[in-house]
Amino acid sequence: MGLAKDMPGGELKSKFLGCLVGMAIGDALGAKREGRGMSRSEDIVSLADKLEQLIYTDDTHMTIGVAESLIESNGFDGEHMAQTFVKNYKAEPWRGYGPGPPRIFGMIKGGEAWYSAADRLYSGGSFGNGSAMRVSPVGLLYSRNPERLREIAYRSSSITHSHELGKEGAALQACAVALALNTPWDEDIDREDFLSALQDFARNQLYREKVSRIRELLGEQDKARVVALLGNGIEAPRSVPTAIYCFLRQPQSYRDTVIYAISLGGDTDTIAAMAGAISGAYLGIEAIPSEWRAKLENREYIEALAEKLTSSIDNVNTG
């Protein structure tokens, strides 16, 4: 797999756009099925056709916060990112946030440091998927340097999700976005190489085992078995590997990736957001159905952030 720095500028920009818009559409479409059981692909397609607007949830709202902060700070600044989350939540608290983050935002507003507030929730911090669902801008921006990507994914996670499984889930999702970005769109994804790279990257045994399960399930027709082995839940280890699997089942189709992710039921907005981010980072914006793009709420702003992130990649990697 090549590096994004060897890529023509037009392709790089399209992939950044594809990643953020692809994430937001997966979130908005998946939100209509969040918390429900499995569904048929045909029903998801007709749901998408019927919706007049694709309205996103906390997954996209927090991804916007990550992107805004990385752009404004010219890289990662924990205090700035935490304050951006607090400000954005105050403006739109109705986006369907998970239980933990609003409590942490309250602590930070009350003077708790950004790097310690999350340790006060749950036992050992949160391992919810809330930091993995928002990490795609980190995967894009730090795609040229896996160790830096890991460090920034961990630190951005620790604002709200400081459990090892939460941080590692965010890093694995960011790594998948980077691998997808770094694969030229005219080159097939080598699924074995992709999984080996993730397996080498993962530091936690549970995630290594899940990556092995992805390999075993690639030809699986039974969705119940996929859910039983990979999960479709709100916890990072029960959703990040599932999203990667959804992408690797059908790497040439953004549409099929997102529809399959939603069809598994459970935390559908988040699994479709993460799968959509990986797929969009590989295939680029043009691979996302234009009728879905046209319906996405706040699309111009999300695209503007993606363009600014593309322009920041050289600064962040030389700075």
For ligand F2R, the closer of residues 1 and 38 by Cβ is 38
> Of 159, 267, 276, 284, which lies in the binding site for Mg ion, with binding defined by CB under 5 A?
267
**Residues from 183 through 222 that contact Mg ion (CB under 5 A):** none
CB of 188 to Mg ion, least distance (A): 31
**Residues from 272 through 291 that contact Mg ion (CB under 5 A):** none
Q: What tokens were used for 272?
A: 């479709």
CB of 73 to Mg ion, least distance (A): 25
For Mg ion, the closer of residues 269 and 303 by Cβ is 269
CB of 243 to ligand F2R, least distance (A): 12
For Mg ion, the closer of residues 181 and 246 by Cβ is 246
Footprint of ligand F2R (CB under 6 A): 34, 57-59, 96-101, 122-124, 126-130, 161, 163, 234-235, 267, 269-270
Instruction: Give residue 279's identity as a one-letter amino acid code.
Output: S
CB of 24 to Mg ion, least distance (A): 11
For Mg ion, the closer of residues 134 and 295 by Cβ is 134
Residues near Mg ion (CB under 5 A), total: 7
> Of 59, 68, 168, 303, which lies in the binding site for Mg ion, with binding defined by CB under 5 A?
59
**Residues from 83 through 102 that contact Mg ion (CB under 5 A):** 96
Contact residues for Mg ion, defined by CB under 5 A? 57-59, 96, 267, 269-270
